[in-house]
Structure 1
Amino acid sequence: MSFPVHAITLDLDDTIWPIAPAIVGAEAALEAWMAENAPRAARMWPASERQRLRELANRERPRLAHDMTAQRRWMIERMLVLADEDVALAEAAYDAYFAARCDVTHYPDSVDALERLAARVPLAAVSNGNACLDTIGLMHLFQFQLGAREHGAAKPDTSIFHAACERLGLPREQVLHVGDDPYMDVIGARQAGLRACWINRADEHDRFPPWPDARPRPDLEFPTLAALADWLDATHSEESIRP
């Protein structure tokens, strides 16, 4: 399939890098920081109890479900207060967590593919997560980063896709959204009027997950970002590469 692509919006977590190792590392960094600086909280809130607190945050603060930074800060403050620790430690504790959360390991194809894509069309990040492209070192490849926290609503809400298109200055049908999640990325983008590409990477057993339901499939499906870059090169070869 070939159609005009004048810009690409990209999901981040599990599209450019796997999120699970980063979250494991961030939780470990928070636990180590607490053990050194707030030992009562560290003893009171092992990993299993932190998960319970996360579920409590989701129940008690549903209006901020799109804001992972606010939710995490609230959790850390509760951990400190309930352990009779100094709540002023919350900022430093969050910084330790967030630094590790942004210490991601890219999929092997990601950076080279992003460079190839960015050479052809503008790229913008549209993510429900709170990773920082400046910290990670990829911001130079993107026009902007639009997160659910800054926008005020998360994918698959159509408004976040529309906001990205407005910032790009392009009609929705000329923008391709790329992501790993069938519902948040593909169905959300299509409902918002964008083209959609599903990055369907193989699992640990080298199997490719099937499309989950009977709703219309994405416009494109590739196992890697490199394959998407190959498609863009092949179908837009007559177009000059951006300066």
Structure 2
Amino acid sequence: MTMTITALTLDLDDTLWPVMPTLLRAEAVLQDWLRAHAPATAAAFDVPTLQRLRGEVGRRHPALAHDLTALRLITLREALAAAGDDPALAEPAFTVFFAERQRVQWYGDVRPALERLAARFPLLALSNGNAELAATGLAPYFVGAVSARSCGVAKPAVRIFEAACAELRCTAGQVMHVGDDWTLDVVGARRAGLHTAWIRRPEAALHRGPASADADDAPAGLHLHLDDLLVLADALGA
């Protein structure tokens, strides 16, 4: 069945790097910037308070659930306004956060595995997050990217997987999606007709999915349950 796979889509956050340390560092850098440029906001909104506000913003703007950039900008504008600072500072504040958010630390298997996989298959990034290939150093391995923000809908919606297949000029049955989240990555991709590889890294603090990798309730197709991307490269003969 691996002979039918002609392209791969890969999730980014928590599949190629641990995302929580990246976000916590970016939040800390943002707080430093706010203390220097909007001290009233920094005093009123520490990281947990900003996170709670962002959750409230998300609940008030469900149509923007796919656009994390928009939600963060709205959150910053509201926090700045509430503290009496200039809401126009939201854009430069987000720029500082976003630059730090791109400074990711790849898992150790990622570079050698992507070198092997990219030599065999076209690779497309498929993410609900707002990491950018060029800024994270991944661009040389990928032919492109489809994000929830660019597509207008987030995983596990079938439409984002269909958009990825269209970008690759492949049918769903020719594509394998690789990701760490059972619902967003595995269930979503299989409902769209893609093959799947579920990456459950032993070092990850949280495995988002069932204890079993059973996917019998999904459409027919190849489903792999793997510890890292090098094992995937081996399994696909890359």
TM-score range, shorter chain: over 0.9
| Cα distance between partner residues in 2 of 1:56 and 1:207 | 26
1:219 paired to 2:220: no
C-alpha displacement of 1:216? 3.8
Aligned to 2:51: 51
1:126-180 Cα offsets, whole Å, 9 max, x none, are: 1000001111111121111110001000000000101111111111101000000
- State the secondary structure of the residue aligned to 1:197: strand
| Secondary structure class of the residue paired with 1:108 | coil
Matched residues in 1 for 2:133 and 2:16: separation?
A: 11
Contact 2:127 2:146 in 1 (8 A): yes
Classify the secondary structure of the residue corresponding to 2:126.
Answer: strand
Using structure 2 for the length normalisation, give the TM-score: 0.92
Secondary structure class of the residue paired with 1:233 = coil
Correspondence for 1:14: 14
> Contact 1:10 / 1:123 at 8 angstroms: preserved in 2?
yes
The count of aligned residue pairs is 234
Does 2:217 correspond to 1:233?
A: no
- Tell me, yes or no, if the aligned pair for 2:199 and 2:227 is still in contact at 8 Å: yes
Q: Residues of 1 paired with 2:236 and 2:214: CA distance?
A: 27
Deviates more, 1:100-109 or 1:199-208: 199-208
In the other structure, the counterpart of 1:63 is 63
- Distance in 2, Cα, partners of 1:199 & 1:48: 30
Task: Say whether residues 1:109 and 2:85 are aligned partners.
Answer: no
Provide the residue aligned with 2:139 in structure 1. 139
Alignment check: 8 A CA contact 2:177 2:194 kept: yes
Q: Which amino acid aligns with 1:48?
A: P
- With normalisation by structure 1, the TM-score equals 0.91
Residue aligned with 1:193, SS: coil
Question: Would you identify which runs of 4 or more consecutive aligned residues in structure 1 move more than 4 Å?
Answer: 204-209, 212-215
- Structure 1 CA distance for aligned equivalents of residues 100 and 3 of structure 2: 39
CA distance in 2, matches of 1:56, 1:20: 20
Provide the aligned C-alpha RMSD in A: 2.1
2:81 aligned residue? 81
Tell me how far apart the structure 2 counterparts of residues 207 and 15 of structure 1 sit (CA, whole Å).
11
Q: Is the 8 A contact 1:38 1:85 kept in 2?
A: yes
1:206 Cα shift? 11
- What is the alpha-carbon distance in structure 2 between the residues aligned to residue 7 and residue 97 of structure 1? 33
Contact 1:8–1:122 (CA under 8 A) maintained in structure 2? yes
Give a deviation string over 1:20-61, Cα, whole Å, max 9, x none: 101101110111110111000000001221121011111111
1:129 aligns with 2:133: no
More displaced stretch, 204-213 vs 169-178 = 204-213
Residue of structure 2 in register with 1:240 after alignment: none
Within-5 A mapping of 1:133-172: 133-172=133-172
Amino acid at match of 1:107: Y
| In structure 2, C-alpha distance between the alignment counterparts of 1:32 and 1:164, rounded to whole Å | 38
* Structure 1: gaps of 5 or more residues: 235-243
For 2:229, the aligned partner's letter is L
Does the 8 Å contact 2:200/2:207 carry over to 1? no
Rounded Cα–Cα distance in structure 2 between residues aligned with 1:170 and 1:229: 20
1:25 aligns to what? 25
Seen in structure 2, the aligned counterparts of structure 1 residues 35 and 205 have a Cα distance that, compared at 3 Å, is closer
What one-letter code is carried by the residue in structure 2 that aligns with 1:33? W
Deviations 1:88-135 (A, max 9, x none): 211110011111111110001011111110000100001000001111
